[in-house]
Structure 1
Amino acid sequence: MTLKDSILGLLIVFLWGINFVVIAWGLEGMPPLLMGACRFLLVALIGSLFIKPPDMPWQWLWAYALTLGFGQFAFLFSAMAFGMPAGLASLVLQSQALFTLLFAALLLKEGITPLQLLAMLIAGFGLYLVGAGASGAAMTFSGFILTLAAAMCWGLGNIVNRTINNRGYQANLGLVIWSAWIPPVPFLLASYYFEGGGAIQEALVNIQFSTIAALLYLAIAATIVGYSLWSYLLGRYPAARISPLTLAVPVVGLAAAAYFLDEVITRQQGLGIALVMFGLLLNLAGRRLMRGVKSLVFSKAHK
């Protein structure tokens, strides 16, 4: 990667890592489901002014919007409203990689290699330690479970994304922007049912500048700018070279949450975090590492 593109990659990691702290700030002045509706409405209103609609049937926009849009963020925002710390949310959400493997095996009939299975077991045990280590910490069990549900929706959305590409369409920034018109509807319906009309009215009438700033960050910086840069890098480099950047997002998320929100983690959760990160890294790069080791052993054996 060039120096400029490397800097852009680091900018993406920073934007998406800080994103979790900004969500926590936004939730201080707005209920989670209403905030989800406002976030996606802003993405659609602003992004559609600059990005062309994707050339694909509308059912794929719905499938993408209801999994990666409504499902993922309804659970994530609710999780953080119900006691999931921002830093740990950034980590647990990365379990989407494990759910993607499971859904690919179940829905696309893709095989799971022994190395991938080992990675899933290591990361899964790490997630167990994170969840079980909540005793005496700020994290709630309901927040942890809701974050896992968000990761499941992300994993299912990855299958939708892959299916879109396999059918000859492009799952690009246009899909992200124009599918954003759909989630505000279920978000508002769910907000009215679970949060109540009174809470919606109060949040909108008494909206604070900090809430507006958080929504603008989530819509413009984290979504439009972040995904624009991501699409740019994917267009210049192989996906295998770009995707490891996402492993740095929880690192930034945990550090930002510690600095801005004074979040702390227990020793057991720290061990769990290390195992989750190792499992995700093994899943991502383990096969290339094994090939490198075999190649090295083979070359030494023939000297």
Structure 2
Amino acid sequence: MKPADIFLATLVAVIWGLAFVASRLALDELPPTLMTTLRFAIAALPCLFVRKPDVSWPLLIAISATLFLGQFLAQAFGIAHGVPVGLASVIVQSQALFTVAFAVVAFGEAPTRLQVTGIAVAACGLVMISGTVGYDFSVGAFAVLMISPVVFAVGNLLLRRARTVPMFDLFAWLCLVAALPLSVLTLIADGPRTVWHSLIGMSPTGIVSILSIGAISTSIAYWLWGRLLRDHTAAQVVPFALLVPFVGAAASSIVFGERFGPLRLAGMVTVVCGIAIMLLSPRARAVPNLA
């Protein structure tokens, strides 16, 4: 990779890590459904200028429902209900574990020995983290947050079927498809009065947070990531995502004074190590067809 591309990959990871902090700040003022709706509404504004990519509506809806709507709505609910930001950033990145596992079923990609080892290590880390649930956040909040990496992984696999289209156009339309049902859900779940009072009562911090989440971390960062994946192999690009939980945890520690107990910290480090083993191992091979 060229130095400029290395810089962009690192920049995207930093943006995504800081987005967890921005989400926490926005959720201090907005309900999870409204915050997620605004996130995608802002990121969908380029749809006014770009045409729908050459992707079927069923595929577009499926990718949007998993990669965007499901992932970020679960994140918002988990963080809003007490899951620490730094921990949330680690749990979301465990999507690599589920992506490899689901690829075995969907595409017959047999994981390498190193990938199996990485899955086992990451799974042990998640078990360690689950042992700390119930002290400063509920089991329910943790369960909802775990939906995020699972649907994230499904979205990753679906996205493979649309990589030949312009990434910026695709992500803009994915955001639009997510924003429409979320708008209806927000009005039903929160009510028009709550939505109105939340919007007019936003502080400058809340406004800057939601704008940065929508315009920078969702629209621009995903576009840059898509371009990097288009121009380079996944093995070259994806490992930079390992920086996300470190940036998220460090930023949360500075902004919110977040601290981790020994077991939770050990679990977080174990998960990241497991992900590193999976991402840095040789690419999975297809299972031979013996039929």
Return the TM-score normalized by structure 1. 0.86
Structure 2, unmatched stretches of 5+, are 284-291
Q: Per-residue deviation at 1:180?
A: 1.2
Rounded to whole Å, the distance in 1 between the matches of 2:70 and 2:230 is 27
Given that 1:95 and 1:148 are in contact with CA atoms closer than 8 Å, whether structure 2 keeps it comes out as no
Structure 1, unmatched stretches of 5+, are 289-303
Q: Per-residue deviation at 1:185?
A: 2.4
- Overall identity of the aligned pairs, in %: 30
Among 242, 263, 268, the alignment partner of 1:268 is 263
Return the TM-score normalized by structure 2. 0.90
Q: Per-residue deviation at 1:152?
A: 0.7
Specify the structure having the higher radius of gyration (Cα).
1
Rounded to whole Å, the distance in 2 between the matches of 1:282 and 1:69 is 26
**Count of residues in correspondence between the two structures:** 283
Rounded to whole Å, the distance in 2 between the matches of 1:9 and 1:107 is 28
Q: Per-residue deviation at 1:81?
A: 0.6
Question: Which residue in the other structure is 2:147 paired with?
Answer: 149
Which is worse superposed, 209-218 or 105-114?
105-114
Deviations 1:136-169 (A, max 9, x none): 4x3432222112101111011112112334xxx4
1:182-193 matched pairs, under 5 angstroms: 182-193=177-188
Rounded to whole Å, the distance in 2 between the matches of 1:264 and 1:24 is 16
Q: Per-residue deviation at 1:287?
A: 3.1
Given that 1:164 and 1:171 are in contact with CA atoms closer than 8 Å, whether structure 2 keeps it comes out as no
Q: Which amino acid aligns with 1:162?
A: R
Given that 2:167 and 2:226 are in contact with CA atoms closer than 8 Å, whether structure 1 keeps it comes out as yes
Rounded to whole Å, the distance in 2 between the matches of 1:52 and 1:189 is 24
Q: Per-residue deviation at 1:224?
A: 2.1
Rounded to whole Å, the distance in 2 between the matches of 1:184 and 1:228 is 18
Question: Which residue in the other structure is 1:219 paired with?
Answer: 214
Is 2:243 aligned against 1:244?
Answer: no
Rounded to whole Å, the distance in 2 between the matches of 1:281 and 1:152 is 18
- The 3-state SS of whatever aligns with 1:133 is coil
Q: Per-residue deviation at 1:13?
A: 1.5
1:282-293 matched pairs, under 5 angstroms: 282-287=277-282
1:115-126 matched pairs, under 5 angstroms: 115-126=114-125
Please report the RMSD computed on the Cα atoms of aligned residues, expressed in angstroms: 2.0
- The 3-state SS of whatever aligns with 2:68 is helix
Is 2:93 aligned against 1:94?
Answer: yes
Question: Which residue in the other structure is 1:160 paired with?
Answer: 158
Rounded to whole Å, the distance in 1 between the matches of 2:281 and 2:119 is 12
Given that 1:91 and 1:250 are in contact with CA atoms closer than 8 Å, whether structure 2 keeps it comes out as yes
Rounded to whole Å, the distance in 2 between the matches of 1:158 and 1:171 is 16
- The 3-state SS of whatever aligns with 1:182 is helix
- The 3-state SS of whatever aligns with 2:165 is coil
Q: Which amino acid aligns with 2:225?
A: W
- The 3-state SS of whatever aligns with 1:183 is helix
Rounded to whole Å, the distance in 2 between the matches of 1:266 and 1:156 is 32
Rounded to whole Å, the distance in 2 between the matches of 1:154 and 1:268 is 26
Q: Which amino acid aligns with 1:184?
A: A
Question: Which residue in the other structure is 1:35 paired with?
Answer: 35
- The 3-state SS of whatever aligns with 1:265 is coil
**Residues 232, 109 of structure 1: alpha-carbon distance in 2 compared, 3 angstrom cutoff:** closer
Question: Which residue in the other structure is 1:205 paired with?
Answer: 200
Among 227, 237, 259, the alignment partner of 1:232 is 227
- The 3-state SS of whatever aligns with 2:94 is helix
Is 2:145 aligned against 1:172?
Answer: no
Q: Per-residue deviation at 1:264?
A: 0.7
